[in-house]
Amino acid sequence: MKSLVLTRDGLQVADTPTPPLMPGYIRIEVRSVGISRTDLRIWKGEVAADLPLILGHEFAGVIHESSDPEYKVGTPVTTEVDISDGACWYCKNKKKHLCNSKKTLGITTDGAMAEFICIPSELVHKLPDQIDSVTGTFVEPLAIAIETYTRSTVNPEETVLVIGTGKAGLLMAQVFDAFGADVYLLGDNQWHLGVAKQIGLQNIVNRSGDWKNTILNSTSGVGPSIVVEATGTHGGLQTALDIVRGDGTIALTGRTEGPFDVDPRHLISREISIFGTIRGDYEMAIMMLQKGRIEVKRMVSKEFTLEQGAQAFEAATKPEVVKVNINI
């Protein structure tokens, strides 16, 4: 099959063996795959990975071969990204996303930037007709955004600040908004802020202005009770720590550039909680996309073919781009 393989010499389109269909697995013909922050970090050598490796974990396609009558050939699907061992304490206690020896698509095992991928059927989610393959590539990051909302235990009409206007930030802001929170989105990328406006987000705050007072003035001078840090940077976390209300919560998302310095005295004296999320609520993500509650198409800045893979990765580093998809 045709694949986009990351080698020590960079990305190369190659002919690699089509993955064999193991018992309990489903072979999927990949239709579209998004380039995520993690893919970019591996490509740049910032995240260690065993090369050669096929990148990509945000994808959608159709079932190509299956031995399970529940999963018919031609059905549109997307999948979860962590293949757990089913044997450790976490797997036996309904926390398989924390599995001690899980393999993650496109990071520790081959991913979806190829014509085909084989996935355990328990990780496969069917997509309804309303969700095309490009939209389907947003299910995984949206699922994590929804789980972040759930774990943040925010009450409707509470003020939430989302820091970062990339794909993760725009999804987080839309999810908290859809569930009734009063959302402020903070960023400094003019193109991304433009996309946020097109999506329909209301309180967009440009970091180049007096952003701190804007946010304090709208929260009785105390700051937002929840801050979602979606830039993955040390600066983003520092901003979150500065602005979050006493007894507030900071949610971290995505693969951060870390390790970060955090003064525990600051957390204790202001009773601040920090949490991260790696689990996703896939069924809710699919439902929200099906009902059109989350706008994702405007976030796709450019689309490429698999043969243009190296070009696609270059394009994904440009500041005007929110998300790049490779269509196969």
Query: What is the amino acid identity at position 255?
Result: R
- From the list 13, 21, 49, 88, which residue makes contact with Zn ion (rule: CB under 5 A)? 88
Residue number, 98 or 310, with CB nearest to Zn ion: 98
Token digits for 145?
A: 């955004």
Residue number, 80 or 182, with CB nearest to Zn ion: 80
Stretch that binds Zn ion, among 13-21, 90-98, 111-119, 136-144 (CB under 5 A): 90-98
Question: Least separation, in Å, of the C-beta of 85 and Zn ion?
Answer: 4
Token digits for 210?
A: 């007096």
Residue number, 103 or 234, with CB nearest to Zn ion: 103
Stretch that binds Zn ion, among 97-105, 125-133, 258-266, 282-290 (CB under 5 A): 97-105
3-state helix, strand, coil in the chain (%, to 5): 30, 30, 40
Residue number, 6 or 91, with CB nearest to Zn ion: 91
Stretch that binds Zn ion, among 69-77, 80-88, 138-146, 164-172 (CB under 5 A): 80-88
- From the list 3, 78, 84, 159, which residue makes contact with Zn ion (rule: CB under 5 A)? 84
- From the list 35, 55, 99, 160, which residue makes contact with Zn ion (rule: CB under 5 A)? 99
Residue number, 274 or 278, with CB nearest to Zn ion: 278
- Total number of residues that touch Zn ion (CB under 5 A): 5
Crossing angle of helices 282-290 and 139-152, in 10° steps, is: 110
Question: Least separation, in Å, of the C-beta of 120 and Zn ion?
Answer: 13
Stretch that binds Zn ion, among 98-106, 137-145, 160-168, 192-200 (CB under 5 A): 98-106
Residue number, 121 or 238, with CB nearest to Zn ion: 121
Question: Least separation, in Å, of the C-beta of 96 and Zn ion?
Answer: 6
Question: Least separation, in Å, of the C-beta of 299 and Zn ion?
Answer: 33
Residue number, 78 or 84, with CB nearest to Zn ion: 84
Tokens 């990780």 -> residue:
123
Tokens 């991928």 -> residue:
117
Tokens 């310095």 -> residue:
261
For residues 43 and 11, is the Cβ–Cβ distance under 8 A?
yes
Q: How far apart are CA 248 and CA 256, in angstroms?
A: 21
| 83 is a contact residue toward Zn ion (CB under 5 A) | no
CB contact burial 185-195 (16+ within 10 A = b; e otherwise): bbbbbeebbeb
For residues 135 and 297, is the Cβ–Cβ distance under 8 A?
yes
Residue number, 81 or 324, with CB nearest to Zn ion: 81
- From the list 46, 68, 70, 85, which residue makes contact with Zn ion (rule: CB under 5 A)? 85
Residue number, 22 or 287, with CB nearest to Zn ion: 22
- From the list 11, 42, 91, 107, which residue makes contact with Zn ion (rule: CB under 5 A)? 91
Strand partners, 72: none
Binding characters for Zn ion, 26-55, by CB under 5 A (x = yes): ------------------------------
Q: How far apart are CA 62 and CA 129, in angstroms?
A: 12
Within 8 A by CB and 6+ apart from 35, the residues are 56, 312, 313, 316, 323, 324, 325, 326
Tokens 């393989």 -> residue:
5
Q: Where do runs of H (alpha helix) occur along 49-166?
A: 89-92, 133-136, 139-152
Query: What is the amino acid identity at position 158?
Result: E
Q: How far apart are CA 109 and CA 19, in angstroms?
A: 12
Site for Zn ion, rule CB under 5 A: 84-85, 88, 91, 99
